[in-house]
Structure 1
């Protein structure tokens, strides 16, 4: 009964079914996805304490894996009061809020500056810079707001 209510919550909280992963039927794969989800939840929890480790990207991966293994766990992640809104915003709309974008881009710039100051190989500095610019452009071009203010 509780499982049915949670699954119903998942279907009601998502505006689009194309972002809802289909749960797998293979028992071994379900356990693998649960392990992946648990691992990334643990990394996200560490990220809450350590400012250099992101939280939301790990929760996005955890929610994806949880959706493959356990609709109840996916619903629990999506309904979390703090981390649920950015997770739902990303899963449902591919959106990242402005504050998160600014923080991510600022930390990426600081990281590249640190690489520039500490690495003596010009090709490596350039490679890291190219990767960070590519990721930065991706982040900067994501939509910022959703149509519904509650998301």
Structure 2
């Protein structure tokens, strides 16, 4: 895991801090709304806090619920198998529900399903941590 180091320029530091909190809030919204992704926003938040607020970076990466998964990804260890199945399962449930029951534009439904397929392949190809105790 990288060592947090504040950016020397205060304008950039405060901008990163604000972006970090906005992405964190969007990530939390993603926990409630299946259409909004959680992980990319939490990773962006961690990246912003890495250069703007060491305190919040440590808080985010050491959090009891999602800190371990952020650390796995940032350290290049990947995603635990159980989490991969959960992510891909929820992705397909929400995409198929939306594409087949809600969206009435055929080409848009096809695009949604194609995007889900690409995302599923990306997630499946991610490495798995050596010691997966989930």
Question: Normalised by the shorter chain, which TM-score bucket?
Answer: 0.7 to 0.9
1:1-151 matched pairs, under 5 angstroms:
14=1, 23-47=6-30, 50=32, 52=34, 54-114=37-97, 115-146=99-130
2:19 and 2:89 map into 1 onto residues whose CA distance is 29
TM-superposed deviation, 1:58: 2.5
Q: Which structure has the larger Rg?
A: 1
| SS of aligned partner of 2:79 | coil
Q: CA distance change for structure 1 residues 127 and 54 in 2, over 3 Å: closer, same or farther?
A: closer
2:37 and 2:104 map into 1 onto residues whose CA distance is 27
With normalisation by structure 1, the TM-score equals 0.73
Please tell me the root mean square deviation across aligned C-alpha atoms, in Å. Answer: 2.4
Number of equivalenced pairs: 131
With normalisation by structure 2, the TM-score equals 0.81
| SS of aligned partner of 1:93 | coil
Structure 1: 5+ residue stretches without partners: 1-13
Q: CA distance change for structure 1 residues 138 and 21 in 2, over 3 Å: closer, same or farther?
A: farther
